[in-house]
Chain A
Amino acid sequence: MAYADLATIQNTDPGDILTAAWCDQVRDNGEFFVDPPTCSVSGSSTQNVENDEPTVLTAATENFDNDSMHSTSSNTSRVTIQTPGRYLFLATVRFDNNSNPGIRRVSLLVNGTTTIGGMQVAGVTNQPVRIQATRSFVLDEGEYVEALAYQTSTQDLMTVNLDELFAMFLTR
């Protein structure tokens, strides 16, 4: 359950009784800090990423999600913030073997419009590449983040997989 400022539940003065409502909120606040909002999702299959075409990766599989940040039925690429705060995001992407080098890149896309760079490496012929984007964001409720893959091997890559898109609440 969500954190709430205890002073808004009951603003106590010396000599006041403490209500059960106040005590219950103390417990909820404790639970919030023990198990703050966090979410981990991944792609359930490989995905095609066309040459020179930034592509949002879908995440049909949910590893854990304790704040309804991800839906497995709609807009599965998104991790949506329900509790405002500072968040740490990680996106790990695997580009499988390919005969052409070129760039391999993973970024984070905020609200479908703002691309935040993560990691970019040069591809190696016939070698798989696994790279990770790690960034922190201050996000409000309803804002969302997606993993974005990009490659310039001169051909479409059918074998890109989102290993994990992870979000962790840091502080309010």
Chain B
Amino acid sequence: MSTPPVDDPRSASILEPGHTFASVTDKISSIVLARRTPRFWWVGFLLAFSLTMWLFAAIGYLLVRGIGVWGVNVPVGWGFAIVNFVWWIGIGHAGTLISAILLLLHQEWRTSINRFAEAMTLFAVAQAGLFPLLHLGRPWLAYWLVPYPNTMALWPQFRSPLVWDVFAVSTYATVSLLFWYVGLIPDLATLRDRAKRKFFQILYGMGALGWRGSAAHWHRYETAYLLLAGLATPLVISVHTVVSFDFTIGIIPGWHSTIFPPYFVAGAIYDGFAMVLTLAIPLRAVYGLEGFITLRHLQNMAKIMLATGLIVAYGYMIEDFMGWYSGNAFEAYTVHNRLTGPYGHYYWALMLCNILTPQLLWFRRIRSTPWILWCIAMVVNAGMWLERFVIVVTSLHRDFLPSSWGMYQGTVWDWSIFIGTIGFFIALIFLFIRFLPMISIFEMRTMVPTAEVAGEPVPAPGRIEGEV
């Protein structure tokens, strides 16, 4: 196996040379179908699972005692819960972007990463979805946000962005799930055919919905997949736009700003790609998937991070500029307070994480060194969390009347639930890589040179030279 020189990304392919249809299928499906579960999987999974259990314990405590176990107060009515919600939703974005927009843009390098990026999206949205429920004072009444016919003839209050959130997030979760599942069907059929044990044959068989690989199946699959991609594409933009409305509709200085939608979307993609890298780099190392998730993938993702990071930086800049330019004393104070107030260190940490650190990605050497890339991705993950913290907390804690200014700090239960969702997320990822193919087998097969050499029409849209 000869590896192309790392300093020439152009020559880095999206599939290691030497792979055949069979080898691709073997390599990916063996991870799922191996009888023995690797030791590191058990270690990682149990760790993540215990965090998950802690999450449920913390949720139980929260439900029994009330929202008071968190650090929220008046004036800071939203704290970790909303910060985490926005953060997780943002993380999900990369998956949708990779699977839908890059698909439509014929970026075929997405093929090796779209499956687990989509899984990541789903699992992140699942975490995100917990928070709007849990942060309610009376979570058992959350369904009142949904417009359902009832004897009281009461509807939600449609002017509230929280109602828009319900639609945006639930649509997003549904489309993401469908998209992911539809994409899985041919692979589930492969697994069904390759599974040795009856139980798995039946299990995967049910999931495969009777897929036999006929031309009609492929035709319908292609149509459905493309349609779903078309549906998912606006969602990439809309979900985080709507999430940002939670703030922009508010009157609070630091929230009430038209710049939020684009800057939130860019931030979401930024963070999403950071999370894909965070997951992909260890995965390709432990499962030996360097042949599928090549340096070229990592480099491309790093470039997207750099680009979106710059958009985000521009957002920060404009936010601060507007604080001054608006001539509004409240806005100006909010900016001043962000920079120099009691949460100033959060702001400067955010600048370090989200603006300074990613500048390293200008260097090819760094882009093509996975462990550095992983570190940068982690820093960006943290930075994006800080960004949401700064937006939510520093705006609220000092608004119009100094008499009601206050401070906010997460309590042990805030942290428990936050870290717990990270554990839950990782646990789901572990289950996913153990039971489902983390890379799309059938799409990877189209990357095998023979797929082209034979001159057959390839199922996936044609290959386009060049990079993102």
Q: Do A and B come from one complex?
A: no
Listed in ascending order, the chain A residues whose CB lies under 8 Å from chain B are none
Where the two chains meet, the residues of B that have a C-beta atom closer than 8 Å to any C-beta of A are none
